[in-house]
Amino acid sequence: MAKPKTQNKTIETVEPIGDRVLIRKDEDRKITKVGIHLPDKIEIPTITGRVVTVSTIIENNPDYPIQQYDKVLFNPKESIPVDFEGDNRLFVVPIDDVVAIFRRDT
């Protein structure tokens, strides 16, 4: 009699290497700021997102003031999509393609 296979539930993580960060891009907007509803077939490239993690090189470099959970603006051209989630919202982005960090005055 064959033994049933038990699957170990492991958590898979993604850690960027080199001068890169892992970003979860924001949802695509289907309504413009003035309230115009866009059809589902139109894809507007959303280039904002939240930093999930940064590489150790970036983390230890004081020239890069970026950290986990920062909201950023990035150029998606050189980004590598991570096929980790079904909706492909995770991207490994070279630090040079992160063009702005959104900050709030406290």
Residue 9 lies in a domain: no
Residue 40 confidence class, pLDDT cut points 50, 70, 90: low
Q: What is the pLDDT of residues 44-58, one digit of tens each?
A: 566 899 999 999 999
**Does residue 28 have a pLDDT over 70?**
no
Number of domains in the chain: 1
Q: For residue 64, give the CATH number of its domain.
A: 2.30.33.40
Residue 6 lies in a domain: no
Residue 67 falls within a domain, yes or no? yes
15, pLDDT greater than 60: yes
Whether 12 is in a domain gets the answer no
Residue 35 domain boundaries: 20-102
Q: Annotate 71-91 with b (16+ C-beta within 10 A) or e (fewer).
A: ebebebeebeebeeeeeebbb
pLDDT at 3: 58
Confidence check: pLDDT of 22 > 90: yes
Contact yes or no for 49/72 (Cβ under 8 A) = yes
Q: Quick: pLDDT tens for 85-105.
A: 566 688 999 999 999 999 887
